[in-house]
Structure 1
Amino acid sequence: MSSTAEPLRDEVQPNPLPNYTHVMPTHATQGSRKQVVLAGALAGLTSRFCISPLDVVKIRLQLQTHSLSDPLSHPPASLYGPVYKGTLSTLKTILREEGVTGLWKGNVPAEILYLTYGSLQFLTYRSTTQLLSTLPLSDRLPNAGTSFIAGAVAGSVATSATYPLDLLRTRFAAQGHDKIYASLLSSVRDIYRFEGPTGFFRGLSAGIGQIVPYMGLFFSAYETLKSLFSTPTSPLYPILSPYGLNDAAAGVLASVSSKTAVFPLDTVRKRLQVQGPSRTRYIHRNIPLYERGVLATIAEVARTEGRRGLYRGLSVSLMKAAPASAVTMWTYERAMTVMRGWNGKEE
């Protein structure tokens, strides 16, 4: 294969080196760009719909600031908002005080976010994987290395492009009965008016710092586990394969391990996203002011709330991440299979 990269074609050519040990991951190199975009969008929408309530719970827990090791540090709810204790208790409290719709706060920007993010993520992952496949044979990476790089690039591109939607999702989810933003359009107008264009990107550095290792670890683990679970000699193959759960199981395990590794950055990102002139008007009205960047915020949270404070909402995040990744990867793979089948019939 020539060392000069050729322009990527819409239809992916068969791997010219079928006997090469480090062939490219199959799900990233099959299908057209249009198919990848559509499948990624459908996967993102489906996943978001399923896990929205858990996402709201996670955000509410992450924005709490009392020390987890000192019960006397709990702020009075009448002055600073509710004190949530655990996933189930938080769900019940939101349902009791805000109704069912409270569990879907921020769902509109979140759906747009997942739609756009899913499309960009899978398209960038596919394009990066194809580009790496044009390298000379001696310079190619093993599957795990290729997946890590492609995943990190895909996560960075998708996160940066959709970050304003992520910020809006967080701010709507952080609202209580007293609405800060009446609608999606008014939120965009108010943030631009009072915080300027940079207001839409508060905490972006934490988002990039989180997503690069997360997506790299996730995709490399996913490709490895998917291959393992799809091998007939694997002990889990007879259990997973008849139900098409190979992809889902790989997605769950890859997501749990990756999410745990980078979770403190996710907590910091949420804290930074609700900074600004409305900081004291969210349901947690005692959110501290953080002005010195990501590392200083991590240090401040650890100092005032203990190291456990950096992992607020981890359990519900894992509960959310596992089904979300399983649904995402299962939907994506099924959608790609259906669309490739349609193209085969048309041909």
Structure 2
Amino acid sequence: MAPSPVIQAIIDLSAGACGGIACVLCGQPFDTAKVKMQTFPGMYRSFVHCFVSISKQVGLRGLYHGTAPALMANIAENAILFMSYGFCQDVVRFVIGLNRGTELSDIQKACSGSVASIFSSLALCPTELVKCRLQAMHEMEASGKIAGGQKSTVWSVVRHVLKTNGPLGFYQGLSTTIVREIPGYFCFFGGYELSRSAFAHTMGRNKEDIGVVPLMLSGGFGGALLWLVVYPIDCVKSRIQVLSLTGKQEGFIKTFLGIVRNEGVRPLYSGLTPTMIRTFPANGALFLAYELSRKAMMKPFELVQEYERAVIFRLGRIIDRKPKGPGMFFVLPCVDTFTKVDLRSKTFEIPPQEILTKDSVTVSVDGVVYFRVNDPILSVANVRNADEATRLLAQTTLRNTLGTKNLSEVLSDREEIAHSMQFALDEATHPWGIKVERVEIKDVKLPVQLQRAMAAEAEATREARAKVIAAEGEMNASRALKEASLVIAESPSAMQLRYLQTLNTISAERNSTIIFPLPIDLLQHFVTRK
């Protein structure tokens, strides 16, 4: 997790400073030879001749002249450069409409580094001026451009600049430095990122995991591109900063044209050999130190989300009985370790379990369990894997609970069984810091033969019930008819009214045949007369 922008800026600043120190320690002898050959191209025939001459004149210690201001220069430059580099990446994302944290392309990162170099130039120029003057002091005295016997220390140069030019004297060559840095660092970061991408693609790895040697080679490649592009500008800058020791020096354009007019183009590339030799160890060490120190400083800062908590162990012991989070927290490298715990509710399915009920019927039952971590410390300290332990315990609890129930209870009392399981699981998982919120029985599957038997039993029960209902209906109908006949017998005219009602009903139905019932009493008269 990325820390806050302020802490990220501090990390980038510190990592850039570490990279600057590594760059100076690895490349200072080569840089000394470069400055001497740029300032006095006619004094040295080659890079080797320059090295030998320095060793003879002032010893090997002369190769490290200006190390103190070089350290100050590189620490200040790289600290501000890499801090601004992260900030400028956010600016590039904003300009092109990308979300914060979105990975930029290699070219977009190169543009970010180019813009960041403007800020680093403000810190680089004063220290570069002091460094270059210290490195070329011997040659300035030998050529008679300054009086001999002057002290060649950092403070003597600083006092001389303040005395002759004031504070603004430290910014002689600033415009040249900015002109050099903008295209130079576009190539620098572009070459570095492109090279890392090429190594990552070839090795089939992430760019962050390509290893030390490819990382240093990528840094060296970026540095080589930088110097190939800006070396003539750097040569003019060194001339301005060193020769300003003798008095007011002309600006970039006039100095550049004067070199070309009086000495030709070749002096603009004087000292390129030690620079190219220097760039691989120096810039490789720069990026190696930057990346390693940045990773080391990023590790102590961890971030947990609103739904997470972190349990911190210091030398194997939990340092606090209250977990950390939400938000950012600090861990001591090589001393503290931590475990993140998710507090959100989780679910898992209980796989179908073959269970023998109390009345010796085999059924297959599955379910769902809802649970969450209630105490992060207990869930880490008391059980190795709380989720897996809860899952296994749910299976055995389902078996134990249903084993005490009859088949009819299993089929009809699912809610009660679920509550019983929830209570049992919650009680068993409490020492693990787990809270079981809910248990649901999903499905109860019976054997096929039992399903057929139960279906036949249910069908027989329904048929018997239907026959009973039909018999009861017949009996009730018979009783009603009996009661109706008794009523009609008591009143003969009631029968006639019934006849008329029946005729009315038949005629309303539009039947073609109508039967008229004839009372038997009318026939009795004719039978008697015969």
Give the TM interval when normalised to the shorter protein.
0.7 to 0.9
Partner amino acid, structure 1, of 2:4? E
Helix, strand or coil for the counterpart of 2:201? coil
**Within 1, Cα distance between the matches of 2:294 and 2:175?**
33
**Within 1, Cα distance between the matches of 2:149 and 2:228?**
32
Residue 127 of structure 1 deviates from its aligned partner by: 0.8
Aligned to 2:128: 166
User: How big is the alpha-carbon RMSD for the aligned residues of Structure 1 and Structure 2?
Assistant: 2.8
Partner amino acid, structure 2, of 1:93? S
- What is the 5 A alignment of 1:144-183? 144-176=106-138, 178-183=148-153
After the TM superposition, which segments of 4 or more aligned residues of structure 1 sit over 4 Å from their partners? Answer: 138-142
**Within 1, Cα distance between the matches of 2:245 and 2:8?**
45
CA 1:166/1:182 → structure 2, altered by over 3 Å: closer, same or farther?
same
CA 1:179/1:46 → structure 2, altered by over 3 Å: closer, same or farther?
farther
Q: Is the 8 A contact 1:218 1:255 kept in 2?
A: yes
Residue 11 of structure 1 pairs with residue 4 of structure 2: yes
**Within 1, Cα distance between the matches of 2:150 and 2:110?**
40
Aligned to 2:38: 62
Residue 268 of structure 1 pairs with residue 226 of structure 2: no
Q: Is the 8 A contact 2:191 2:222 kept in 1?
A: yes
Partner amino acid, structure 1, of 2:30? L
Aligned to 1:35: 11
Q: Is the 8 A contact 2:199 2:214 kept in 1?
A: yes
Deviations 1:115-163 (A, max 9, x none): 1111101000011102322345379996244223211122111112231
- What is the 5 A alignment of 1:1-347? 11=4, 32-66=8-42, 83-135=43-95, 137=97, 143-176=105-138, 178-232=148-202, 243-278=211-246, 291=250, 293-343=251-301, 346=331
Deviations 1:54-84 (A, max 9, x none): 1111111001154xxxxxxxxxxxxxxxx21
The 10-residue stretch of structure 1 (246-255 or 41-50) with the greater mean CA deviation from structure 2: 246-255
**Within 2, Cα distance between the matches of 1:333 and 1:275?**
37
Question: As a proportion of its length, which structure holds more strand?
Answer: 2
TM-score, normalising length: structure 1: 0.76
Residue 335 of structure 1 deviates from its aligned partner by: 1.2
TM-score, normalising length: structure 2: 0.51
Task: Please tell me whether Structure 1 or Structure 2 has the larger radius of gyration of its CA atoms.
Answer: 2
Q: Aligned residues: percent identity?
A: 24
Q: Is the 8 A contact 1:44 1:118 kept in 2?
A: yes
Q: Is the 8 A contact 1:267 1:311 kept in 2?
A: yes
**Within 2, Cα distance between the matches of 1:244 and 1:98?**
36
**Within 1, Cα distance between the matches of 2:87 and 2:252?**
31
Deviations 1:259-304 (A, max 9, x none): 111110000000000233536xxxxxxxxx852x212222221122
Greater relative CO, 1 or 2 (CA 8 Å, sep 6+): 1
Q: Is the 8 A contact 2:41 2:270 kept in 1?
A: no
CA 1:243/1:184 → structure 2, altered by over 3 Å: closer, same or farther?
same
Structure 1, unpaired ranges of 5+:
1-8, 13-30, 67-82, 280-288
Partner amino acid, structure 1, of 2:258? E
**Within 1, Cα distance between the matches of 2:291 and 2:76?**
18
**Within 2, Cα distance between the matches of 1:161 and 1:255?**
20
Residue 46 of structure 1 deviates from its aligned partner by: 1.3
**Within 1, Cα distance between the matches of 2:245 and 2:27?**
30
**Within 1, Cα distance between the matches of 2:258 and 2:110?**
31
The 10-residue stretch of structure 1 (244-253 or 175-184) with the greater mean CA deviation from structure 2: 175-184
Partner amino acid, structure 2, of 1:41? A
Q: Is the 8 A contact 1:172 1:181 kept in 2?
A: no
